Amino acid sequence: MELNQLSQTLKPFHVPYQTLVFANVWDLASLNIVLGLNSEASKPFKAIATALWVFAAYYRGYGAGFTEDDKQTLIKELDGRVSIRLGQTRAALLVSQLAKLRVARINVGPSLFQVAMNAAKKSDVNVLEGGILEEV
C-alpha cells in the first residue's frame, strides 16, 4: 500500500481534540503518514503533535521521563497537542484520564510487546524450575 493511500486510511481518525490511541506505531512512519495527507491544495495538518519524551529526555536525561504532574502541566500548557506513551506504573494516567485532558495521541509503543515478553519470561522461568506454563 502506498504512503498516500495509508495516509488517507488514517485521516478520518485524526480529529482535533479527540484522543487517538496507536499501538506499536513508529514515530517516523506515523509522521510520514500524517504529513502525506497534506497537499498543495489542502494542508489539514498545520502542526504535528509534540512528543513529551523529547522534552523529558532533554531536561531530565534519556529514560527518566516526566512525573504524572509534569505531564498534566505540559498537556494543559500545550493544549493537548502532545503524543504520550502510555505509562506502565500504578501511578500512570489512565487512557480515560489522558483523553479527558485532551491528549492528541496516546502511543502504546513497545509496551504491549514488553508486557507479552514479561509474561513469556515468567512462564519460561516456571517451566525451567519444573513447573508448567502460566495460564493465559
Percent helix, percent strand, percent coil in the chain, to nearest 5: 45, 10, 45
Residues 6+ apart with CB under 8 A from 63: 57
Q: What is the DSSP letter of 19?
A: -
In 3D, which of 60, 58, 61, 7 has the Cα closest to residue 29? Answer: 7
Q: Residue 25's pLDDT is what?
A: 45
Q: Residue 45's pLDDT is what?
A: 59
Domain ranges of the chain: 3-110
Residues 6+ apart with CB under 8 A from 30: 22
d(CA 70, CA 34): 27
d(CA 59, CA 82): 17
Ranges in the chain, pLDDT < 50: 24-26
